[in-house]
Every structure is written in structure tokens, then in C-alpha cells.
Amino acid sequence: MTKRDFIGMEEWSPQEVDRLLDLAARVKAGGVAGGLERKVLAMVFLDPSLRTRSSFETAMFLHGGHALVLEPGKGSWTLETEPGVVMDGTGVEHLIDAARVLGRYADALAVRSFPKGPDWNVERDDRIIRNFAKYCDKPVINLESVRRHPCQGLADALTLKEKLGNPAGKKFVLQWAWHPKALPTAVPASAALAAAHLGMDITIAHPPGYDLDPADMKAIQSLAVLRGGSVAVSQNRAAALRGADAVYVKSWGAVSRFGRPDEERELRAPHRDWRMTDPGTSLVMHCLPVRRNVEIDDAVLDGPYSAVYDQAENRLHAQRALLLTLIGKSA
């Protein structure tokens, strides 16, 4: 039997994603006990985390399994990730060997790896997560890679369903926000894919130069059309937010300036006013961590329309459903 990886939500059929979301809702309601007894999840964090790490560890524990966590360079060997290199530098163990070995111990392998290099044309291939999937013979789960954060996307979809009832045809705005750093595009792409899966009418609002990768836009567009929704892009924040049912506030760096931080900072500088200060009656979403009073004001995050803690909680339930589906006793 071929193994299943979970690297991007759009790589699973809409029916499979619907089944995951239904299971997540049942799990959250307390309707599923056990199912991961004597199962092991190995997690490799090449970048930091609060929610992803703690929610996956909790998910494995709650269903009777075990999660082990490796942070290469901090207690496990520094990883070399480039294929075919002469390893006479700082990398002690190659990704190929780590992936094969962890596959012998664990039932699934989960990996977080943000962009590292200076060239978007190289980074956009998402080679690290793809190579872990290639060399590990167990299912590989993406804990946020260069291009996707599908577990966040699942949790976001679950949250939208809970908060909006049937989200199909409702207005979802993905709103860029100013941030002191150029952040990856994995979360905004995955949030838009989640809204597309739900058949929402999506507006992606950002200042000039902050277009998502064309392949991401194509994937979002295709899924939206398939599911009966639509996608628009706007550079007018106020107009985009009008009539929104949900606003997903998120910062991301300009792909067109990737690897050129000074140019990117200059492009970003005039847009500090792209901050969520007043959502009206729209649901406000963010994946967290959030820069308070930079991306979103305190009053909004702590106010009645904030869904951010529900999103964070739903990471746990969505991932319980994912783990049960991939490696559960009845999988």
C-alpha cells in the first residue's frame, strides 16, 4: 500500500478533507477515544513553535500514542539538507539518513522547515519537506514548510465552519499586515486554500508588490472554482474589508524581493497602517503568534469578534483527526 503524506491540503481530495473536518468536529465533541495506542509520531523542528509542537504532542497523548521531538542542532545532530553535497561542513547527519531512520522507529514523521536560502526560485520547490517525504517510508506531515501550513489550514477551516455555519458564498478577506520582518507565505496561502475549500468568496488584500506566488494563486483559484467560490485581489484595504464575514489578518514578505531584505523593508515601510484596528462585526482570524498592536490591536484580539484562540484550539482537534486518519488503528 502506498503511504499518504499531508503536505498541502489541496493534495487531498475535497471529499477527504471534508471527512477530516467531520472527524475533527466529532473528536472535539468527545466522540472518539483512543485509536493511537502504541503509535509513535516523530517530529523534527528545524524552526521554533509553540502551538504546533504542543498540540501534536497533546494529540498523540490524548489518543494513547507517543510523540518524540527532535530539534536538529539542539540535542540532535545538525542536519545537512542539500542533496549530493560533500559533507565536510557543519551538517553532521544528512536529511536522507534521518528520514530513513526515523521511519524505522515511528509510524509517522512530522517536519517543520521554513525558508532558508536567498533564492525564491529554489525555495519554492519546498525541497526539505518533499525530501523528507521522499526518503521516509512512513506518512510525512507538514508542520509548516516554505509553501504550506496545512494543519493550520485544517484548523482554520474547522473554525470557519463553527463560526459561520455554512461558509459557502460568504466573504473571506485575507488581509496583509505590516510586520517588522518579512514572513513566509505558507500561512496566507494555506488560509486562502482553506477558505477556497469551503466555497467562500475570497478577497486577498495587500499593498503593491505583495502578490502571492503565481502557483499558489492558481491553486487557490482552481480550488475556489471547484468548490463554487471565487477569488479577487485588491490593493484597497478599506474597500476589501467592506462586508467581510471573516478577516484573516496575516503578514507576509514580498516574494518579488525574497532574499533581498533591505529592498523588502523599503517596500514594506509605507504600509504600517495595514493593521487591524476595527473589524466591525467581521470575525477576526490569525494563526498566532501575533505582534499585538502591530498586526492587530489589543482591543480586537481581546474583543468579541476574535477567533484566534478557537483557531489555536482547533489545531489540536484537526490534528487528532489527521493522526487518526493517517495512522489510527482503523486507518
Contacts with ligand CP, residue ranges (CB under 6 A): 49-52, 144, 152, 287-289
Centre a 10 Å sphere on the Cβ of residue 330 and count the other Cβ atoms it contains. 6
Shorter beta-carbon distance to ligand CP: residue 50 or 299? 50
Shorter beta-carbon distance to ligand CP: residue 180 or 289? 289
Q: Are 39 and 303 in contact (CB under 8 A)?
A: no
Least separation in angstroms between residue 105's CB and ligand CP is 23
Least separation in angstroms between residue 286's CB and ligand CP is 9
CA distance 60 to 78: 26
Least separation in angstroms between residue 184's CB and ligand CP is 11
CA distance 109 to 68: 10
Nearest to residue 319, comparing CAs of 132, 54, 55? Answer: 55
Shorter beta-carbon distance to ligand CP: residue 122 or 288? 288
Shorter beta-carbon distance to ligand CP: residue 284 or 287? 287
Shorter beta-carbon distance to ligand CP: residue 49 or 221? 49
- Which residues are bridge partners to 72 per DSSP? 76
Least separation in angstroms between residue 143's CB and ligand CP is 7
Q: Are 284 and 306 in contact (CB under 8 A)?
A: yes
Least separation in angstroms between residue 191's CB and ligand CP is 11
Q: Which three cell numbers stand for residue 191?
A: 488560509
Which residues, other chains included, contact 65 with Cβ-Cβ below 8 Å and sequence gap of 6+? 36, 37, 38, 39, 40, 41, 107, 323
**Three-class DSSP category at 243:** coil
Shorter beta-carbon distance to ligand CP: residue 141 or 240? 141
Least separation in angstroms between residue 148's CB and ligand CP is 12
Least separation in angstroms between residue 279's CB and ligand CP is 20
Least separation in angstroms between residue 45's CB and ligand CP is 9
Task: Name all contacts of 308-314 with Cβ < 8 Å and 24+ positions apart.
Answer: 308/284, 310/159, 310/162, 310/163, 311/152, 311/155, 311/156, 311/159, 311/285, 311/286, 311/287, 312/51, 312/55, 312/155, 312/288, 314/24, 314/28, 314/155, 314/156, 314/158, 314/159, 314/162
Shorter beta-carbon distance to ligand CP: residue 51 or 127? 51
Shorter beta-carbon distance to ligand CP: residue 186 or 326? 186
